[in-house]
Amino acid sequence: MNRNNEDYRSPAVPALTKTLLEDVKKIFKTTSGTPFLIPTTGTGAWESALTNTLSPGDRIISFLIGQFSLLWIDQQQRLKFDVDVIESEWGRGANLDMLAMKLAADGAHTIKAICIVHNETATGVTNNLAAVRNLLDEYKHPALLLVDGVSSICALDFRMDEWGVDVALTGSQKALSLPTGMGIVCASPKALEASKTAKSLRVFFDWNDYLKFYKLGNYWPYTPSIQLLYGLRAALDLIFEEGLDNVIARHSRLGKATRLAVEAWGLKNCTQKEEWFSDTVTAVVVPPYIDSAEVVRRAWKRYNLSLGLGLNKVAGKVFRIGHLGNLNEDVSDVEVEVEDEAEWGVGEDGGEMIEGDVGGDAGGEVREKVKDRKDDDVPKLSKEIYSFFDSDDSDWMIEEESNDGDGNDSTDEDDDEKFEDEDSDELLSDVNSIESVDPLNKSTTILPSWICLKRKRKRYIYFKGRICFNWFIYFKRWSWQKRKASRGW
Ligand SMILES: Cc1ncc(COP(=O)(O)O)c(C=O)c1O
């Protein structure tokens, strides 16, 4: 996407746009939806969804579960809708019992739309959209279903057609791993129909202007970002190459890895129930004597690692680990996998694991610690985490516990082992040879504490938390360099 600007009325840009509009529907899992690629951010995409389908004074139901749903509600109120807010404690999902009550009481169908954030990025809560659709169907309610999928679409399971979503939206900077600047909105036939009578004032976001140019075949009512269009092409190609369902499965593994790490650290997930756990972001609650903003600051300064701050009600109380987008697993010959729960505490050869023993026996002891932990121990364990952030670099250098392999493994894997040890050495020297920090790479990173690097014949190398942390930072740099080299950037 790093290219000169082009005339958007040239034959090339409409041809590119046509394929993008067709292909982008796949990430929404829709065949009947109409997409709009708008030069804006997620906030503009919200406005586009609301103003094209609703009129001032319309009654809408909106779930307040965290900072982003709060901001959307603020926009809805400023656009003069009659917003019926269903609030949940931050860390909990949308209160669907309350929705059921409101739908049951609305025989006259005064509710025109249900607005819901699929994945609340501030608290790491994923809402159950299928359940919302089921309720609307159960009460035969015609309200439109408007969904913010900014931190879900292309990373979490999202099915626009199957769940009867009327407007779904996302932003380029999240799971698509593009720079900020494109809002992607997709409207169902019912939403397009509603736009014909919706009276909200709209100019820049008017779908009608887009539709006119769609008909003319040149697609743009105003100048698009050419670079983002080419970027979207590349992002979609990468996603389709991996397979959308594989991308979603990868997010599920990385989400689980992160939650296991948080658990092993003795810290709590802000998300209160498993059913709401997010596979794209984990909000980690810090003990009361720690300011989470300080954790974020140190991670940034010392480890070139970008963690998310706690926002609004949870400011200072949580930090957020983003694990969405184009994360490491696409590195050509190394696969990062999360071990199965069942594998905890047992080495591949059935042997007992020892914490931090790189080479197959890590995790078991700490797993036990976590299991036996009483709540009183949490601050103590958390202090260890805190001291990690506080520690000297020398304390966690990768060489310190280098990849010595699992020398005691069964003999039939010796060859593989040798190969892998050599290969891992090569990998390590590769990553260690990268001297400077690439600012482009200072993006969301995850910190799973026990991750398996799975190679060839089911062999695992375990890393304990701090090594893995270190690894991920190096790994990202290395993968970035590799990709740059392979694509001649
Ligand atoms: C769930 C969600 N919705 C909306 C937004 C707002 O998007 P933007 O900042 O691109 O306007 C964000 C931003 O992070 C978000 O996470």
* DSSP three-state, residue 84: strand
* DSSP three-state, residue 393: helix
CA neighbor of 206 nearest in space, from 20, 437, 402, 48 = 48
Ligand 1 centroid from CA 147, angstroms? 12
Q: What is the pLDDT of residues 121-138, one digit of tens each?
A: 999 999 999 999 999 999
Q: Which tokens sit at 406?
A: 């699992």
Judge if the beta carbon of residue 311 lies within 6 A of ligand 1.
no
Are the C-beta atoms of 149 and 118 separated by less than 8 Å?
yes
Residue nearest to atom 5 of ligand 1 (CA): 42
Question: What is the CB-side half-sphere exposure of residue 161 using CA atoms within 13 A?
Answer: 9
Which residues make Cβ contacts (< 8 Å) with residue 274, sequence separation at least 6? Answer: none
Residues listed for the chain: 489
Judge if the beta carbon of residue 68 lies within 6 A of ligand 1.
yes
Residue carrying the six token digits 């059935």 = 350
Q: How far apart are CA 142 and CA 59, in angstroms?
A: 13
Q: Check: pTM over 0.85? Answer yes or no.
A: no
Are the C-beta atoms of 444 and 461 separated by less than 8 Å?
no
Are the C-beta atoms of 232 and 170 separated by less than 8 Å?
no
CA neighbor of 280 nearest in space, from 131, 145, 167, 127 = 127
Ligand 1 centroid from CA 151, angstroms? 8
Atom number, ligand 1, closest to the C-alpha of residue 149:
1
Ligand 1 centroid from CA 42, angstroms? 5
Atom number, ligand 1, closest to the C-alpha of residue 117:
1
Q: Which tokens sit at 399?
A: 């060489």
Q: Which band of pLDDT confidence, cut at 50, 70 and 90, is reported for residue 301?
A: confident
Atom number, ligand 1, closest to the C-alpha of residue 119:
1
- Sequence ranges of the domains in the chain: 12-240, 243-487
Q: What is the mean pLDDT of residues 213-237?
A: 97
Q: What is the pLDDT of residues 29-65, one digit of tens each?
A: 999 999 999 999 999 999 999 999 999 999 999 999 9
Query: Which of 50, 62, 65, 68, when mutated, tests ligand 1's pocket best, judged by the most ligand atoms within 8 Å of its CB?
Result: 68
Q: Provide the CATH number for the domain formed by 12-240 in this structure.
A: 3.40.640.10
Judge if the beta carbon of residue 479 lies within 6 A of ligand 1.
no
Q: What is the pLDDT of residues 349-379, one digit of tens each?
A: 322 322 222 222 233 443 444 444 444 444 4
Class of domain 243-487: alpha beta
Tell me what pLDDT residue 2 has: 86
Given a cut of 60, whether residue 395 has pLDDT beyond it is no
Relative orientation angle of helices 42-53 and 67-78, to the nearest 10 degrees: 40
CA neighbor of 364 nearest in space, from 379, 377, 350 = 350
Given a cut of 90, whether residue 426 has pLDDT beyond it is no
Question: In CATH terms, are 12-240 and 243-487 the same topology?
Answer: no
Amino acid found at 142: P
Higher pLDDT: 476 or 319? It is 319
| Helix residue spans in 31-183 (DSSP H) | 42-53, 67-78, 96-104, 129-138
Higher pLDDT: 393 or 302? It is 302
Q: Which tokens sit at 58?
A: 């319309």
132: β partners = none
Tell me what pLDDT residue 76 has: 98
SS3 for 352-380 is: ECCCCCCCCCCCHHHHHHHHHCCHHHHHH
285: β partners = 268, 318
Atom number, ligand 1, closest to the C-alpha of residue 173:
10
